[in-house]
Amino acid sequence: MNRIGITMGDPAGIGPEVIVKALAAMTAEERAGCLVIGDAVFMRRAAALVGVEFAFDESCAARRPGDVPLLHVEAPNRDGIKPGELSPDAGEAGKRCVEVAVKLALAGEIDVICTASINKQALRMAGYALNGHAGLLAHFTGIQKNYAVLASPQFSVIHVSTHVSLVKAAEACRTPLVLETIRAADAHMRTTGNTRPRIAVAGLNPHCGEGGLYGSEDDDEIVPAVKAAQAEGFDVTGPVPGDVVFQQAIDGKYDIVVAQYHDQGHIAAKLIGGHYCVNVTAGLPVLRTSVDHGTAFDIAWKGVADPSNMKAALAMARKMKPVVGKS
């Protein structure tokens, strides 16, 4: 069984609550395989809010059956962190948990990191000009390029570009990056046990440009990337028009779709996957899953947060395995 390091997220948000609720739904054996990385005070507050029978054990073990190992990472100015409020201290607390988790994963002390949500604005208020978890993970692993994967029960999506403008996304659609994303798609799927994933590459333009009528990027940049990937032995098809590729994936034709930009992939995956759509970061030397929602400050610490997505992220973390080399 994987040992999963669960980071607390922004303590002003719903992270501690959804973690506690997800842990409460586990068996004692599953809880013993987790290590919560966060401030013990906030985690115990969340446990009291929800009303659970287990306790957090700061020895990093589960000495009493059913309890949850916890590695205490102290939040700065704990009393200044208020439910549902942006603060640099909450941003710093979330960052510290991720930093510790990456160190543990690189050292082999945990197998997978599962992150609760942090707030990008709070992170910047704390002095870190980084793009949320993706930026933190890149910074702490030294791997600058990673890939956003959304995994739903029906199919997965990986993105050539994510948090950039649509104009810049089109500029990023170049053969080398598309090819690298195809490779990352294959590598990610193999960590979930799929040894021969079927990959579809979505077109950038309507109808894949229709022979240059609606743009030439599909012919000039995506087609060469697909051909190069096929020559490397990948089971990849494309470009496939964006308005049909996801339905084909739902129908079972493909396991993962390479989307060219953020909304092309995110809208489809979130619409179909709903609460069970999990965020996975590919291309890192560590395995990482995450909830696919934000800090939800409007309902933070009210006891009403839905843990379904955290449960799904932990279920994904339990089945992932590192894979070296391509089959």
- Report the number of distinct structural domains present in the chain: 2
Identify the band that residue 324 occupies on the pLDDT scale cut at 50, 70 and 90: low
Separation between Cα atoms, residue 158 and residue 181, nearest integer Å: 7
pLDDT tens digits, 212-247 = 999 999 999 999 999 999 999 999 999 999 999 999
Separation between Cα atoms, residue 284 and residue 143, nearest integer Å: 6
Last residue of a domain, one of 277, 298, 317: 277
Say what the pTM is: 0.92
323 or 136, higher pLDDT: 136
233 and 256 in a single domain? The answer is yes
- Rounded mean pLDDT of 185-207? 96
- Please answer whether residues 70 and 58 qualify as being in contact, where contact means their C-beta atoms are separated by less than 8 angstroms: yes
273 and 292 in a single domain? The answer is no
1 and 103 in a single domain? The answer is yes
20 and 119 in a single domain? The answer is yes
pLDDT confidence of residue 208: 96
Instruction: Give the range of the structural domain holding residue 271, as residue numbers without chain letter.
Output: 147-277
User: What's the number of CA atoms in the CB half-sphere (13 Å) around residue 297?
Assistant: 15
Range of lowest pLDDT (14-18, 137-141, 179-183, 323-327): 323-327
The C-alpha torsion from 314 through 315 and 319 to 323, rounded to 10°, is: -50
132 and 166 in a single domain? The answer is no
pLDDT confidence of residue 297: 98
- Rounded mean pLDDT of 248-256? 97
132 and 210 in a single domain? The answer is no
pLDDT confidence of residue 274: 87
Separation between Cα atoms, residue 130 and residue 297, nearest integer Å: 21
142 and 289 in a single domain? The answer is yes
178 and 246 in a single domain? The answer is yes
91 and 154 in a single domain? The answer is no
**What letters, b where the CB count within 10 A reaches 16 and e where it falls short, cover 224-242?**
ebbebbeeeebebbbbbbb
94 and 202 in a single domain? The answer is no
The CATH number of whichever domain residue 115 belongs to comes to: 3.40.718.10
240 and 273 in a single domain? The answer is yes
24 and 118 in a single domain? The answer is yes
Tokens of 208: 């894949």
| Range list of H helices, 244-307 | 245-250, 262-273
